[in-house]
Chains A and B, each alone.
Chain A
Amino acid sequence: MNAMSPPPALASLSPDDTDWLHVLWETNRRWVAALILAHMPRGAELEDLLQEVAMRLVREGLSLRDPASVKPWLRTVAINVARTSGRRQSVRQRVIAGGAEIDADRTPDRGEAAGPSGDDKEQAGLAMRMALDLPEEYREPLLLKAVRGLSYKQISEILGIPVTTIETRLVRARRMVRDRLEAQAAAARAGGEAPPAARRGEA
């Protein structure tokens, strides 16, 4: 794992201080949200999952003595919370369906189901869907890069991989999104159905 320096506001506080946790949370919660977004099933509520991460931080965060361990810890918790929610949701969906399995992963969330109100919003929604359909190793850095202010270095600290790998994955992620959008546009021009986007986890 790369060494990380705590944010300036954090450096002045002791890890024993509960204010330390608050600064920590406020400094990191946006990328935590993006990471949850990258891993949660589409029917889940981002807000609920963020609250679960926040509660975990309050309960366990004071035991994080080393500031360098904070980001990896938050990442692990965020991914676990998102995946656990996916398992819970899958079970619930199966119960609701009375045994007929429903693919919770494909259920659109509220934001996407709301429908675009304009072309720009529609394009933004399409970009998001394409990003979410990428394999995990490309989806994570692409969504994190879309959180304002995160540099390659910061993303590499969060994901625990070298900056060069982050850059390569971003290039490939964007190429995949571009290719899929072009394929979709070509299919639309031909009057046919758009090819199904690759499912998560498939290269």
Chain B
Amino acid sequence: MSNDPRHHEPRPASELEEVLLGRVVDGEATPADWAELERLAGTDQAVWTRLASAQRAHARLIRAVEDRVAVAELIDLPRHDVLARIGAGGAGTGGRARQWGGWAAAAAVALVWASTSGVFRQSFPGGGMNRAGVGIGLAPVAAEPPMSTDDYYSRFMRSGLAEGRILGEMPARLVESRDLPTGDREITYVRQIVERRRVTDAPVLGVSKDEAGVTRLVPVGDSPTPASARPL
């Protein structure tokens, strides 16, 4: 036996097999454990069947738990200064954050709208102004090299934070999570950006409430409303 303190714990004989199976299933078995298990299996071959069954049961539970806790990967810490600015430092933070979550989601929708309606394209490489003349906080882009969506997003966030236009990013909200045949996982989520801006060109964005009373920013004016800006 090893120096592992687990081996010094006296156990009823009936528990020995279960303990050994548990260690194997959990990846905690030592060579001594394996030797003991093989000794047991020498007198009862069904031990291997029970091991397979235990591994299958544990794999199912892992899958179920991993499915549920996958959402944790999307929950990032809110920036401390953002919490302070939106008043989350006091009581009732959950409610306040949720209240702001609506605005943040609206901001995210606006971001999607801006990116799909050509605002960004018109901003690059001319820089910083959309067709309505409202600065959107993007620095001019140097010629090429090609940037990924993440690069653009990262640049947008950095620039916005530097200008004070973006206050921070709230935790993302998971919409859907599913396994892919490749073994990877595909997640669909909403990013929530807390933005502050002074609007001088009122027709660009309007504020409306949907049937549930949730305040939303919606594009108005001559631009057709994209699907992404419509209530879900």
Contacts from A to B (Cβ < 8 Å):
18, 21-22, 25-26, 29-30, 32-34, 37, 46-48, 50-52, 54-55, 57-59, 111, 120, 123-128, 131, 142-143, 145-148, 151-152, 163-164, 167-168, 170-171, 174-175, 177-178
Q: Which residues of B contact A152 (CB under 8 A)?
A: 26, 28
> Is B76 an interface residue when CB atoms closer than 8 A count as contact?
yes
Partner of A111 from the list B6, B60, B68 (CB cut-off 8 Å) is B68
Partner of B69 from the list A37, A167, A177, A178 (CB cut-off 8 Å) is A37
Does the CB pair A146–B65 fall under 8 Å?
yes
Partner of A131 from the list B26, B61, B69, B94 (CB cut-off 8 Å) is B61
Does the CB pair A50–B28 fall under 8 Å?
no
How many A-B pairs fall under 8 Å by CB? 134
> Is B231 an interface residue when CB atoms closer than 8 A count as contact?
no
Given contacts A37-B68, A124-B61, 13 further A-B contacts (CB under 8 A): A18-B80, A22-B76, A26-B76, A30-B72, A48-B94, A52-B93, A57-B77, A58-B79, A124-B60, A128-B64, A151-B28, A167-B22, A174-B58
Does the CB pair A127–B57 fall under 8 Å?
yes
Does the CB pair B18–A146 fall under 8 Å?
no
Q: How far is the CA of A128 from the CA of B22 in the complex (A)?
A: 18
Does the CB pair B19–A167 fall under 8 Å?
yes
Does the CB pair A124–B80 fall under 8 Å?
no
A134 to chain B, nearest CB (A): 11
Q: Which residues of A contact B28 (CB under 8 A)?
A: 151-152, 167
Does the CB pair B6–A59 fall under 8 Å?
no
Q: How far is the CA of A52 from the CA of B77 in the complex (A)?
A: 10
Partner of B61 from the list A18, A46, A146 (CB cut-off 8 Å) is A146
> Is B67 an interface residue when CB atoms closer than 8 A count as contact?
yes
A51 to chain B, nearest CB (A): 5
Does the CB pair B61–A54 fall under 8 Å?
no
Q: How far is the CA of A18 from the CA of B79 in the complex (A)?
A: 9
